[in-house]
């Protein structure tokens, strides 16, 4: 517990592991996504059903780290915030962050929690 307290006081030492899991069918085409922050571009990736994209990062000095992803599947297109330290209605602050992309929307959970739908495709 002491390490977690120290890392929250010093945002640069707080490491986040991000996971994005593809739960949509590969037909008519696989899921395409592009994720980035102001400082880091993960690039465009194509994930087949069941495949996972994961990366890790540290929160910046100012505690303003924000990652967003743009998803494209079938005729659907959506951009969402996948990590934000604080602020708006949809903010996600976690050590282990999981996103599951499904045909009906985008589900979020932290390590050990239940999936919760956060966004629809439209």
pLDDT tens profile 23-82: 999 988 999 999 999 999 999 999 999 999 999 998 888 878 899 999 999 999 999 999
Q: Is the per-residue pLDDT at 89 higher than 70?
A: no
CATH code at position 86: 2.60.40
Structure confidence at residue 102 as a pLDDT band (50, 70, 90): very high
Query: How much is the pTM?
Result: 0.83
- Round to whole Å and give the CA distance between 103 and 122: 11
Q: Which secondary structure element, helix H or strand E, spans residue 117, and what is its range?
A: strand 116-119
Total number of residues shown for the chain: 122
* 3, containing H or E segment: helix 2-9
**Domain range spanning residue 109?**
2-119
Mind giving me the DSSP string for 7-58?
HHHSGGG-EEEEEEEE-S--SS--EEEEEE-SS-EEEEEEE-TT-EEEEEEE
List, for residues 67-77, the tens digit of each pLDDT value: 999 999 999 99
**What is the sign, positive or negative, of the torsion defined by CA atoms of 43, 117, 110, 12?**
positive
Count of domains forming the chain = 1
Local confidence band at 122 (pLDDT 50, 70, 90 cut-offs): confident
């Amino acid at each position: 517990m002491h390490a977690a307290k120290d890392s929250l006081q010093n945002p640069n030492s707080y490491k986040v592991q991000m996971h994005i899991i593809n739960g949509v069918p590969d037909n008519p085409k696989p899921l395409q996504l592009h994720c980035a922050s102001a400082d880091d571009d993960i690039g465009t990736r194509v994930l087949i059903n069941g495949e996972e994209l994961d990366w890790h990062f540290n929160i910046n000095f100012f505690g303003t780290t924000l990652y967003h992803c743009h998803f494209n599947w079938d005729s659907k297109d959506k951009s969402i915030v996948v990590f934000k330290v604080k602020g708006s209605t949809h903010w996600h602050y976690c050590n282990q962050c999981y996103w599951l992309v499904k045909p009906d929307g985008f589900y979020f959970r932290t390590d050990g929690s239940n999936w919760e739908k956060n966004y629809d495709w439209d």
